[in-house]
């Protein structure tokens, strides 16, 4: 850490104060503190974020409860595993897009731009917010899946390694796309429909609500396969369901290689979109 000698001359009689420049690392954590506090203090948003997948899981689960997909897999378990992907999409994509739009509108971004803040600190704060909320969301969905639908939790390291890389690639991709998406709405009030509507459609065509995904019309499946959500859901099914359940997938296999490829491609594309479209100032600031 660099030390500077203060140049202020208000107390010339005393020795100059020795002052420390704040470290980038500390500023990242400080931003994360602000992000987390602001998020968890907004009670209604917290409840909506964490309750929505649970409510959907319970409602849709009641429809699929007594059904079995090919391979004797309970449909409700397919649903629960896929809902993890939906939860990540909602915490990373929807929430992040809305929160950055709001930061742009309420002056957060402009004020931070006027501080001696390294830009990385802002994004680090968002990354930590997104990781914490996504992690909590996954834990809640898994708990509901395990309690209501006997979703088996793997006990071997291999499955958890698979879970980890799908989680990280999925969170990264959704967060980058959420950041890029934040430039689209003109205001916070416009953000909810503009972000939620496409996400709702995407969840539908990605087989989050309807299981198994092969019951969807071919065209919808093909549209879903372009986007990351379907691949995240497929990945999570591979973690929590037995190998025999692979027959419920369109390809009849888990396709881990393809999942990694598609998610990585979206991370890269999302990053390029962010770098080219991110604006620190709102539209009315010119």
Sole binder of other proteins in the list 103, 137, 249, 255 (CB under 8 A): 103
CB of 96 to other proteins, least distance (A): 17
If one asks whether residue 38 binds other proteins (CB under 8 A), the answer comes out as: yes
| Residue 6 binds other proteins, judged by CB under 8 A | yes
Q: Please give the structure tokens belonging to residue 80.
A: 């629960």
Give dist(CA 41, CA 53) in Å, integer. Answer: 20
Which one among 114, 190, 193, 242 touches other proteins, defined by CB under 8 A?
Answer: 114
The residue among 124, 48, 120 whose CA lies nearest residue 87 is: 48
Query: Among the candidate windows 20-28, 70-78, 224-232, 237-245, which touches other proteins by CB under 8 A?
Result: 20-28
> Which residue do the tokens 């009670």 mark?
43
Question: Counting contacts by CB under 8 A, is residue 190 touching other proteins?
Answer: no
Q: Are the CB atoms for 154 and 240 separated by under 8 Å?
A: yes
Query: Which is it for strands 68-69 and 3-5: parallel, antiparallel or unpaired?
Result: unpaired
Task: Please report whether residue 249 would count as binding other proteins according to CB under 8 A.
Answer: no
Q: Residue written as tokens 């708990």?
A: 143
Q: Say how many C-beta atoms besides its own lie within 10 A of residue 109's C-beta.
A: 20
Give the angle 178-183-189 at the CA atoms, nearest 5°: 90
Using rule CB under 8 A, residue 44 touches other proteins: no
> Which of 113/200 has CB closer to other proteins?
113
Task: Tell me which residue of 210, 212, 59, 45 sits closest to 137, measured CA to CA.
Answer: 45
Tell me the three state secondary structure of residue 207.
coil
Q: Is residue 265 close enough to count as binding other proteins by CB under 8 A?
A: no
CB of 36 to other proteins, least distance (A): 11
Confirm or reject binding of residue 137 to other proteins (CB under 8 A): no
Strand partners, 3: 20
Count the helix, strand and coil residues of the chain and give each as a percent rounded to the nearest 5: 75, 5, 25
Give the range of 69-77, 115-123, 142-150, 267-275 binding other proteins by CB under 8 A: 115-123
Instruction: Give the residue with the Cβ less far from other proteins, 116 or 257.
Output: 116
Name which position in 11, 34, 154, 200 contacts other proteins (CB under 8 A).
34
CB nearer to other proteins: pick between 26 and 161: 26
Q: What is the 3-state secondary structure (H, E, C) of 8-43?
A: CCCCCCCCCCEEECCCHHHHHHHHHHHHHHHHHHCH
Residues engaged in binding other proteins (CB under 8 A): 4, 6, 8, 10, 17, 19-22, 26-27, 30, 33-34, 37-38, 41-42, 103, 106-108, 110-111, 113-118, 281, 285-286
């Amino acid at each position: 850490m660099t030390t500077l000698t203060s140049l202020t001359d208000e107390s010339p009689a005393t020795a100059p104060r020795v002052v420390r420049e704040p470290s980038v690392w500390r500023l990242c954590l400080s931003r994360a503190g602000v992000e987390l506090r602001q998020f968890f203090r907004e009670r209604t948003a917290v409840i909506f974020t964490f309750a929505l997948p649970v409510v959907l899981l319970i409602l849709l689960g009641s429809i699929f409860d007594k059904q079995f997909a090919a391979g004797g897999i309970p449909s409700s378990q397919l649903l629960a595993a896929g809902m993890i992907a939906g939860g990540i999409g909602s915490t990373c994509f929807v929430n992040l897009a809305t929160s950055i739009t709001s930061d742009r509108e309420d002056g957060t971004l402009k004020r931070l731009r006027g501080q001696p803040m390294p830009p990385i600190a802002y994004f680090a704060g968002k990354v930590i917010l997104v990781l914490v909320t996504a992690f909590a969301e996954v834990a809640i969905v898994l708990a509901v899946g395990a309690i209501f639908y006997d979703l088996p939790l793997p006990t071997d390291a291999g499955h958890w390694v698979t879970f980890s890389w799908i989680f990280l690639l999925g969170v990264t991709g959704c967060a980058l796309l959420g950041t890029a998406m934040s430039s689209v709405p003109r205001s916070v009030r416009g953000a909810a429909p503009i972000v939620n509507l496409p996400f709702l459609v995407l969840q539908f065509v990605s087989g989050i609500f309807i299981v198994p995904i092969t019951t969807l019309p071919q065209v919808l499946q093909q549209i879903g396969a372009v986007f990351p959500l379907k691949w995240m859901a497929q990945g999570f099914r591979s973690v929590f369901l037995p190998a025999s359940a692979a027959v419920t997938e369109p390809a009849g296999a888990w396709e881990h290689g393809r999942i990694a490829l598609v998610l990585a491609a979206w991370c890269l594309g999302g990053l390029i979109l962010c770098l080219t479209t991110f604006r620190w100032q709102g539209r009315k600031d010119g």
